[in-house]
Structures are given as C-alpha cells and as structure tokens.
Amino acid sequence: MRALTWTGLAPRSTVLFRTTTSTVTSRRISLRRDRVCVRAIASSSSAAVSGVEAVELVEIGERSKKWKWKGEYSVNYFVKDSPEEVTPASQTVLLVHGFGASIPHWRRNINALSKNHTVYAIDLLGFGASDKPPGFSYTMESWAELILNFLEEVVQKPTILIGNSVGSLACVIAASESQQDLVKGLVLLNCAGGMNNKAVFDDWRIKLLMPLLLLIDFLLKQRGIASALFNRVKDKENLKNILTNVYGNKDNVDDTLVEIIAGPANTEGALDAFVSILTGPPGPNPIKLIPEITKPVLVLWGDQDGLTPLDGPVGKYFASLPDELPNFNLYVLQGVGHCPQDDRPDLVHERLLPWLAQLTST
C-alpha cells in the first residue's frame, strides 16, 4: 500500500527492491541511449560505515530553536557553527529532510559538515518538531516558500541547500524561485519527482496505476480508514521492515532510526499531514524547473533506490544532466538506497566535502 512509506522517502504506492553485494562504488555518470556510462570511478569496498561521528539526539533536541513562519506557524530548526575561524572556504548549508523524516535524519552528517561550515537543519512544516496545523494544505510550493523565508529571515546569507527525496525537490523549487541570490548552490540526494505518485513523467507504470492511486486517495480521505492505515504504518516493527528494504546498508537501520521516524508520527496533527501530503497535488515538475537553475548543483544517487530508481524516468533525467548542463555533477553510489546521507554517509562526505571546498575556489 502507498501508506506503507511513512519514512524519510518520497511516498510511493508500489516499490520493487533489489539485494546487492556490499561493494560500494561512486560513479559520475551520464545517460546515453538508456545506458549509464561511467566517467570517473572512486571505490570503497567496506559496507560498514567507519569514521562517521553522529550527533547525539539529545544534543539536537537541546540546541534546536523555534522560528515563527508567517507569524503563525512554529518551525523547528538546528544550527551548528564551525569551531574553527570562518575562512573564505567556509560555506553556509541548510539540510532539508525527506518525507516522514526530520532533523535527526542528518545526525551522521552534521559533525562532518560543521568542521568547516555553518550548518542549519530544518523540520519542514508537518514533520519533526515543527507545527502540524489542522486543516493545512501541504504543497511542494509551500515548503519551498518556507525555505526561502527561512533563508531571508534567519540565515540571512547565501546558502547551499542540501536535500533528500521530497526535500531535494523543495530545494529545486526554492532555487528556481529565488530572486535575491539566497541560494548559492544545490546538493540533491535521490531527488523525488513529486510530493506523491500523481507526478507522472511519461511512466507507463504510474499511468497504469493511476486509477488505483485515485482510489487510494479517496480511501485515505475517509478518517477511519486513514487512521487505521496510519497506525499500522507507524508501528515500530513495520517501520523497521520498511526501512530495511529502503536502505542498502542494513546495519544503519537501528532502533535510533526507527524512533526518529516513529516519534514525530505520534504527535498531534501527524495523521492530517500524512493524508494531506499523500492526497494533495504532486507539485511542480522538476524537469521543467532544472533548466532555470544556473547555480552549481551536485547530485548523489543511491543505485539501490526502489522509490526513485536510477532507471526510472526521474533517475534517467537527472543522469542525463551532466552532458547537457555544465553546472551539474552527478555521482552514483552503488549499493546505497533512497537516503544516502544516512545509509552510507561516508560515501556522501567523500563527494560532498570536496565539492563544497571547490565551490569556493571556483
């Protein structure tokens, strides 16, 4: 069922998963005639994440702050500055989570980034410790607006947006709409094609399922049915099974991760947010927005993603971009799932940190 994806993911109704070996290879790729072509290879053979220091959840909770969006909605955010003196190589970054996730989904990345950069992370409205207002109609455009307002009112300096899944798409929309140079660059981790499955990219599989998706939308709008499904989804054992399928590195699917997803799902307003997001409009098509973005863009894609697979319409489009747009760099992470930043943070840092350093030098 579509509802069985209340995780840091793009919501999908049907998912096919693959099992792979533990060998991990990062590739910069381009797409030619529906084939992935390797341009450069840097490999790592260890499946275990080593040398990654995660921020404790207690620290995230204690250091989190509140910002009033539009003077009405409480938005939770976290900031950690570099302990070193700010240098020309220092960047300001904003981390934007995916569907069902929150700030702690970046716990394995914050320390690595904050060694040289100022790191902000935000809970989008409807998730984490941010408000989940009753009756609010969640859209990709509203999240993009929230991001831009946050940059303008809180960060107040050009910022590199780093997003996962629907968080990536929100960052793309924000960058395409920014008129004040608030966005300095983008890092997209397995970018979603829409807020839900009604985003159709000439994919016969989605078109074939559209009547079923519309039926599911109708059923989800029935309070009793939606509540029963949601309660089943947020059950910790079910969540762990879902996450195990979504992650390539099964060792990182631990009790902490399950609690990161399950905790906010048990707060007031979470059910309404769940239904609104799954039954709402999919949002702008990233294929139409990407050509408008001239800032540097780094795309990292886990090749074991069953939600936005590399050989699907969205994955194929992003894989083609390095050949078409000079501001795009894309690397495939073999054996990695839909949430690379938490699945294999070491591989993400291997590509991300040098890119951030190079961004300043160029």
Residue 255 has pLDDT above 90, yes or no: yes
Higher per-residue confidence, 307 vs 342 = 342
Q: How far apart are CA 178 and CA 121, in angstroms?
A: 19
Mean pLDDT of 272-290: 90
As a whole number, the mean pLDDT across the chain is 83
Residue 199 has pLDDT above 70, yes or no: no
The answer to which of 28-42, 78-92, 134-148, 163-177 has the lowest mean pLDDT is 28-42
Whole-prediction pTM value?
Answer: 0.84
pLDDT in tens, 307-325: 899 998 899 999 999 999 9
Residue 77 has pLDDT above 80, yes or no: yes
pLDDT at 291: 92
pLDDT at 198: 62
- Bridge partners of 53, per DSSP, are none
Contact 119, 261 (CB under 8 A): no
pLDDT in tens, 131-164: 999 999 999 999 999 999 999 999 999 999 999 9
Contact 195, 140 (CB under 8 A): yes
pLDDT tier at 34 (50, 70, 90 boundaries)? Answer: very low
Residue 275 has pLDDT above 60, yes or no: yes
Q: How far apart are CA 93 and CA 356, in angstroms?
A: 10
pLDDT at 211: 61
pLDDT tier at 355 (50, 70, 90 boundaries)? Answer: very high
pLDDT tier at 165 (50, 70, 90 boundaries)? Answer: very high
Residue 174 has pLDDT above 80, yes or no: yes
